[in-house]
Structure 1
């Protein structure tokens, strides 16, 4: 279907409660606890569209939004909106804990019903055939500083004295070829009042201090994972943004040899962690 058939097509994307500028390709203020709300508006003359597609008048078309995130394997879709002509809207909400990396949004119009027998050999003949597609990409940028943070109730995970815990580095997989943004999650304890204030007021001096400490501790725990891995090798060329690439990068902050860093850590872990603090603090 010619693109000019679908008129007044527009995207409305909000990061949490903050609308993203029209056409913006970078969500600078997105954090790992902000849901994303999407509305796609469009207008279509259904009679003309069916005629162009050489479909009978009783055929039907539907519109849908499909979302994919580079950091997760999930594909999320809106409800299919049957097209009735005139201006319509399709909505989709993306939970923060299911998206990372680059977000690809795709608006599609597909065949919902064929109606009477289709005579033209050029008409779409199968339900679900896509007759119109347009997409938009948005790079998600986490603040504070690009840590894959997610508020979680530690009490719900059975941690004793949950109100006093701060955070938990959780690896969903130790496959070094896996996407780091899907493998690494830093769970923040939503039951802790200090963490709650940090999330509610991220720009306050107190929150900035906590976030700085969080960044250093995050790197310390990644170093521990790297040195404890039996499969990690600095001679392996891991794909960028993979778990292996991230863990190798942490080790390389302290030396070019994995064996050397492991040996120094076994002799004096506090000293090695202090060196790591100076490297992270200098960034």
Structure 2
């Protein structure tokens, strides 16, 4: 994922309001936090040149394997080598004089665990024409969900590559929606095959474990429906399960 934005600095106005000398250095720092993967790091530092007015274009890339859940981007303009001309002026390196934070939930169940991409023709030639693979480790259902599940996308597929680039073409949008449906279908199947999920309490469970996240997924798609009823539908009326997954993920929405 590549993101970019412009940050404008009016040096004359800033130094006057902050009690700083014109020779003070200013920089933009961008911090990124991902709630599900617990990733938190500085992804960019860019320095402003010594000009009265300057529009700094910042651009950075994020590794999909580190992203999931709520993504927060914190952008700061900070002071370095401050030249103070007033008693109230920020005197320390790294003092923040402007800050803006944006948060968003990465859409869909697939955003709750790490995602990466590779060319299947190289890494798994027997599945070179597959679009993706989802691996779910159920050996420890109390493990963190983000460490037990991984989605790998086939970057060697032109259709998948277009989707990864954020194409808004109808074919790419349809593929992304089908990806969401397929991930959900596979996770539902895993959930309905695990007794640990059946024993999980929806109200009291730890939402970060494998069994809890899978139980929460079932209750989101089928609120109020008992686990044993879902198993019975899966065994005797699988079309009912599949159609509800499609409905929950909006597969039929144009």
Q: TM-score range by the shorter chain?
A: 0.5 to 0.7
Q: Secondary structure at the match of 1:64?
A: strand
Aligned residues, how many? Answer: 234
Displacement after TM superposition at 1:64 (Å): 0.9
Structure 2: how far apart are the matches of 1:229 and 1:39?
51
Gaps of 5+ in 1: 1-33
* Secondary structure, counterpart of 2:170 in structure 1: coil
The 2-side partners of 1:54 and 1:172 are apart by: 57
1:107 and 1:134 in contact (8 A); partners too: yes
Per the alignment, do residues 228 and 103 of structure 1 end up closer, same or farther by CA in structure 2, a change over 3 Å counting? Answer: same
Q: How does 1:73-222 map to 2 (within 5 A)?
A: 73-88=39-54, 89-95=56-62, 97=64, 98-114=66-82, 122-130=88-96, 132-137=97-102, 139=104, 142=107, 147-148=110-111, 151-156=117-122, 158-170=123-135, 185-192=150-157, 195-196=160-161, 202-204=169-171, 208=174, 213-222=178-187
**Structure 2: runs of 5 or more not aligned:** 249-254
Aligned-residue offset at 1:246:
4.4
Pairing partner for 2:30 from 43, 52, 66:
66
Secondary structure, counterpart of 1:164 in structure 2: coil
Q: CA RMSD in A?
A: 4.4
In 1, distance between residues paired with 2:132 and 2:189?
16
Length-normalised TM-score, structure 1: 0.59
Cα distance change, pair 274–60 in 1 and its aligned pair in 2 (3 A)? same
Structure 2 CA distance for partners of 1:69 and 1:114, relative to 1, 3 Å = closer
8 Å Cα contact 2:30/2:45 also seen in 1 = no
Residue 3 of structure 2 is matched in structure 1 by: 36
Alpha-carbon distance between aligned partners in 1 of 2:74 and 2:204, rounded to the nearest angstrom: 33
Check the 8 A contact 2:69/2:105 in 1, yes or no.
yes
Q: What TM-score do the two structures reach when normalised by structure 2?
A: 0.65
Determine whether 1:249 maps to 2:213: no
Change (3 A) 1:79 1:187: same
